[in-house]
Amino acid sequence: LRVAILLSYCSILCNYKAIEMPSHQTYGGSWKFLTFIDLVIQAVFFGICVLTDLSSLLTRGSGNQEQERQLKKLISLRDWMLAVLAFPVGVFVVAVFWIIYAYDREMIYPKLLDNFIPGWLNHGMHTTVLPFILIEMRTSHHQYPSRSSGLTAICTFSVGYILWVCWVHHVTGMWVYPFLEHIGPGARIIFFGSTTILMNFLYLLGEVLNNYIWDTQRSMEEEKEKPKLE
């Protein structure tokens, strides 16, 4: 399943990069769009998942302590990436894109883009990210970092991206997202602050969801074991 998801992200990235859009030729290229950054995050995350599975299969029963130590580091990296980047950024991209799109698509995804990006690719970038990450969370337990370090990491990512967007505007004189052109400086500050708060909320949501899923799973397993113990 992880291999299939990884291959789908590779396909989406390859098809997206193959599109000759004017915005790809300007300063920052594809890297100024959070959607593209998220796709890279998801591809790297599922790549680490696949690598973890392969390493687990190769080291199983070997008794090599060094290999087991390296596997634990890989698992820790996988869990950290899901908690701090893959879940909050992925859910943020899906939620914010479709909310703004439903309100006024010209503000975030002008009709002009339909000439460059087919519908299936749009959904690959902005829809399937959510079910993929929920499937991963449901099928594998992930150890979240301490809340303070996790929130610090997601805040650093959020502020870093906001500064990047502002820098692109400083260099080119144009905002990455069209709706930022139509609001004042005060509204932009409120928007950027709100997005950072939302990212923090989504991090906490992922932590709560992960704990709920696996606490429920443990409770069900314990209930099944009771008759055997009796």
pLDDT (tens digit, 0 to 9) for every residue of the chain, 230 residues total? 999 999 999 999 999 888 887 777 888 888 999 999 999 999 999 999 999 999 888 877 666 777 788 888 999 999 999 999 999 999 999 999 999 889 888 888 888 888 888 889 989 999 999 999 999 999 988 999 999 999 999 999 999 999 999 999 999 998 888 888 888 889 999 999 999 999 999 999 999 999 998 886 665 555 565 555 55
Task: Report d(CA 197, CA 159) in Å as an integer.
Answer: 11
The predicted structure's pLDDT at residue 223: 57
Burial class (CB in 10 A: 0-12, 13-18, 19+), 184: exposed
Torsion angle (degrees, nearest 10) of CA 43, 44, 46, 49: 170
Cα–Cα distance measured from residue 109 to residue 37, given in angstroms and rounded to the nearest whole number: 17
Q: What is the pLDDT of residue 60?
A: 75
Do 58 and 71 meet the contact criterion of CB atoms below 8 Å apart? no
Q: Given this model, what pLDDT does residue 160 score?
A: 96
Give me the pLDDT at residue 227, please.
Answer: 58
pLDDT score of 148: 94
